[in-house]
């Protein structure tokens, strides 16, 4: 049985003070949740503030990005050892905004994934198609490429896949349960081709794209949906806690 994972991606939101205020409200709301892995991904500047509060709680800490070298002359980048020192145990890699705005390629994301796993960071690896790719019938081709190239020569252990249809991110549009399950089932089939059925059955696949307290229950009833990567609805403690405490 795969343990659900609910992760918050705050993107470029919340100062250190705002992060502290959120977590001081949020952590007590979910302190009794034991059957879900809860993860919060603040901006880099808020990681230490977050770690001070979530340490020794049931809330894990994620970074939103990572660089693929250990150290060096890479202005503006952040090394894996810096993330682990800041208290991170997870990292988000391959979010569509990184792919779109910063032109991160499958090769770059593969390198990032490898170094993250080298440092024992659990990877939330994001994939997903655009509306044009879906409507032109290329959705499965895109997902296949992003899985095979992004996870090339990466062991299954420590990998969480997040399916985020780009057309549903921040738009208020959510994939129907049928669309979500269809994509998640295909992703698990591709993971089985890559790792074998037994290992693929253990990998959690999260859904992301306008997840709210109103639609989480239906999404979690899908056979291959193992949690959610939540954007806007994770910015308020009450809203995100309701997603974490979904109707089992």
Distances (CA, A) of 109 to 106, 188, 223, 245: 5, 20, 28, 32
Phi, psi dihedral angles at 169 (to 5 degrees):
-85, 115
Answer yes or no: 95 catalytic: yes
Answer yes or no: 164 catalytic: yes
Going by C-alpha positions, the residue among 155, 142, 74 that lies closest to residue 110 is 155
Phi, psi dihedral angles at 8 (to 5 degrees):
-105, 125
Class of residue 50 by CB neighbours under 10 A (exposed 0-12, middle 13-18, buried 19+): buried
Q: Which of 129, 133, 164, 184 is catalytic?
A: 164
Q: Which of 25, 95, 149, 202 is catalytic?
A: 95
Going by C-alpha positions, the residue among 242, 202, 44 that lies closest to residue 228 is 242
CA distance 105 to 122: 20
Please identify every residue annotated as catalytic. Answer: 95, 164
């Amino acid at each position: 049985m795969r343990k659900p994972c609910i992760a918050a991606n705050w993107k470029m939101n919340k100062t250190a003070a705002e992060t502290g205020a959120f977590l001081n409200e949020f952590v007590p709301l979910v302190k009794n949740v034991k059957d879900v892995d809860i993860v919060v991904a603040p901006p880099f500047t808020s990681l230490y503030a977050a770690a001070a509060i979530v340490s020794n709680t049931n809330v894990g800490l994620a970074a939103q990005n990572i660089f693929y070298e250990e150290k060096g002359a890479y202005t503006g980048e952040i090394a894996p050892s810096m993330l682990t020192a800041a208290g991170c145990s997870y990292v988000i890699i391959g979010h569509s905004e990184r792919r779109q705005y910063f032109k991160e390629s499958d090769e770059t994301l593969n390198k990032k994934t490898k170094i993250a796993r080298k440092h024992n960071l659990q990877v939330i690896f994001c994939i997903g198609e655009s509306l044009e790719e879906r409507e032109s019938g290329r959705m499965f081709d895109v997902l296949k490429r992003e899985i095979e190239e992004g996870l090339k020569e990466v062991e299954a252990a420590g990998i969480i896949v997040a399916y985020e249809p780009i057309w549903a991110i921040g738009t208020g549009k959510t994939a129907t349960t049928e669309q979500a399950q269809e994509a998640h089932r295909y992703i698990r089939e591709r993971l089985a081709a890559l790792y074998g059925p037994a290992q693929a059955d253990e990998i959690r696949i999260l859904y992301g794209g306008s997840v709210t307290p109103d639609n989480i229950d239906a999404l979690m009833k899908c056979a291959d949906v193992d949690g959610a990567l939540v954007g806007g609805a994770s910015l308020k403690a009450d809203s995100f806690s309701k997603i974490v405490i979904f109707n089992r």
